[in-house]
């Protein structure tokens, strides 16, 4: 039997990695996209003829019901969210609608159409915020430090609640930061890898950053989507921390990235207080023992490999951009 999966947020970093992963497992892959005046499908460009896209929106309950009824997925991965922490301070209500209540809307649609659909919720280490213990496990209390983190706590608990209350196979994956060459350019890792490449190739002078002391447990997105899928293949639904168990500072990421292109980062990086947050999360480090034990999951890409992978991809892309521009002006 061919399995059908529906991914909300298929145009995002994780959506594109997950779609590719599921296609390799012979799934029929459907994606939910929201309408925009210009299409925003770059990350799934090479998968376009193998995935089926449908318009719907996390803000529109009936559009979700109709979509799920039309696709009748066996597995639904809810990756769509307003995912950028600084924007959540500027647009807290919209963040609450997308990132928090949006989860309930998807769960309600499942409950109405077919409660047998297996559900994955993209929860986040941001829920730990001002951490109560280190490393963080599934049992560590939450203390979110942004409207985004608060909305994700709501999404996490409503997922647990629908599992316990309505017997839905609902899992919450508490994923720590995961990155890739497809990461949005406003997130710190990609901002750094892109800048290192541009500065190396002479098309940028400086890199302005905020809190260099922030520490994160950074992994590779390709490894993390495998954990999402594994959660939905178990006999019983549960919640899992997905992390590498290692933390590094933003400064260390910068050092490695610039070292990789043979430059001294101190000559190029400047602090701009505009990138400080009203309340930041200073340190995060996860303990993924449960995922390791029960899912057989462990990360494959190391921190230095991740940094090099991202910088190399940006070097290649920026080189091509420069060559294309030269060709156009010739």
**Contacts to ligand NDP by CB under 6 A:** 8-9, 11-15, 34, 40, 57-59, 79-83, 98, 122, 124, 175, 177-178, 184
Other Cβ atoms less than 10 A from the Cβ of 325: the count is 11
Active-site residue, 270 included: no
CA–CA gap between residue 330 and residue 326 (Å, rounded): 6
CB nearer to ligand GDR: pick between 210 and 245:
210
**Nearest CA to 288 among 130, 96, 136?**
136
145 binds ligand GDR (CB under 6 A): no
**Active-site position among 17, 77, 120, 148:** 148
Q: Among 22-30, 33-41, 274-282, 308-316, which window interacts with ligand GDR (CB under 6 A)?
A: 274-282
The entry of ligand GDR, ligand NDP, none near residue 155 (CB within 5 to 8 angstroms by kind) is: none
CB nearer to ligand GDR: pick between 33 and 195:
195
CA–CA gap between residue 56 and residue 123 (Å, rounded): 21
Do 174 and 242 form a contact (C-beta atoms < 8 A)? yes
Which stretches of the chain are assigned E, i.e. beta strand? 4-8, 28-33, 51-55, 75-78, 118-124, 170-175, 178-179, 207-209, 215-216, 219-220, 239-242, 248-249, 269-271
Helix (H) or strand (E) holding 294: none
Residue length of the chain = 330
Both tokens of residue 152? 């994700």
Active-site residue, 37 included: no
CB nearer to ligand GDR: pick between 117 and 228:
228
The entry of ligand GDR, ligand NDP, none near residue 214 (CB within 5 to 8 angstroms by kind) is: ligand GDR
**Active-site position among 75, 126, 179, 255:** 126
Q: Among 63-71, 186-194, 261-269, 321-329, which window interacts with ligand GDR (CB under 6 A)?
A: 186-194
121 binds ligand GDR (CB under 6 A): no
Active-site residue, 24 included: no
Strand-pairing partners, residue 55, are 33
**Active-site position among 16, 83, 88, 124:** 124
Distance set, CA 188 to CA 50, 124, 193, 274 (Å): 31, 17, 9, 14
Do 295 and 231 form a contact (C-beta atoms < 8 A)? yes
By CB under 6 A, name the one of 16, 95, 125, 136 that touches ligand GDR. Answer: 125
CB nearer to ligand GDR: pick between 89 and 115:
89
3-class DSSP state of 206: coil
Residues 234-273 interacting with ligand GDR (rule: CB under 6 A): 250
The minimum distance between CB 218 and ligand NDP, in angstroms, equals: 8
Give residue number: closest CB to ligand NDP.
12
What is the contact mask toward ligand GDR in residues 206 to 225, using x (rule: CB under 6 A)?
---xxx--x-x---------
86 by Cβ neighbours in 10 Å (0-12 / 13-18 / 19+) ranks as middle
As annotated, the active-site residues are: 124, 126, 148
Residues that bind ligand GDR (CB under 6 A): 83, 85, 124-126, 176-177, 186-189, 191, 209-211, 214, 216, 250, 275, 277, 280-281
């Amino acid at each position: 039997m061919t399995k059908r999966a529906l991914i909300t947020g298929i145009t995002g970093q994780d959506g594109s990695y997950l779609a590719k992963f599921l296609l390799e497992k012979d799934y029929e892959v459907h994606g939910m996209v929201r309408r925009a005046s210009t299409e925003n499908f770059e990350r799934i460009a090479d998968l376009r003829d193998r995935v089926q896209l449908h318009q719907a929106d996390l803000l529109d309950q009936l559009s979700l019901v109709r979509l799920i009824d039309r696709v009748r997925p066996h597995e639904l991965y809810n990756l769509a969210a307003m995912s950028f922490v600084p924007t959540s301070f500027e647009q807290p209500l919209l963040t609450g609608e997308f990132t928090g209540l949006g989860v309930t809307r998807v769960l309600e649609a499942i409950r109405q159409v077919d409660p047998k659909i297996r559900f994955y919720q993209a929860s986040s280490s941001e829920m730990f915020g001002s951490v109560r213990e280190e490393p963080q496990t599934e049992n560590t209390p939450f203390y979110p430090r942004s409207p985004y983190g608060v909305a994700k706590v709501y999404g996490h608990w409503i997922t647990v609640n629908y599992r316990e209350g309505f017997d839905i196979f609902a899992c919450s994956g508490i994923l720590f930061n995961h990155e890739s060459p497809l990461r949005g350019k406003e997130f710190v890792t990609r901002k750094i890898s892109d800048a290192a490449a541009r500065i190396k190739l002479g098309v940028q002078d400086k890199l302005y950053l905020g809190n260099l002391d922030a520490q994160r447990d950074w992994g590779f997105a390709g490894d993390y989507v495998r954990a999402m899928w594994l959660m939905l293949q178990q006999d019983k639904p549960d919640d899992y921390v997905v992390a590498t168990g290692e933390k590094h500072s933003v400064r260390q990421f910068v050092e490695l990235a610039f070292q990789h292109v043979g430059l001294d980062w101190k000559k190029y990086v400047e602090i701009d207080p505009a990138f400080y947050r009203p309340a930041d999360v200073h340190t995060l480090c996860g303990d993924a023992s449960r995922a390791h034990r029960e899912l057989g999951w462990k990360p494959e890409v190391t921190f230095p490999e991740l940094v090099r992978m991202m910088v190399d991809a940006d070097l290649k892309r920026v080189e091509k951009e420069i060559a294309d521009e030269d060709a156009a002006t010739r």
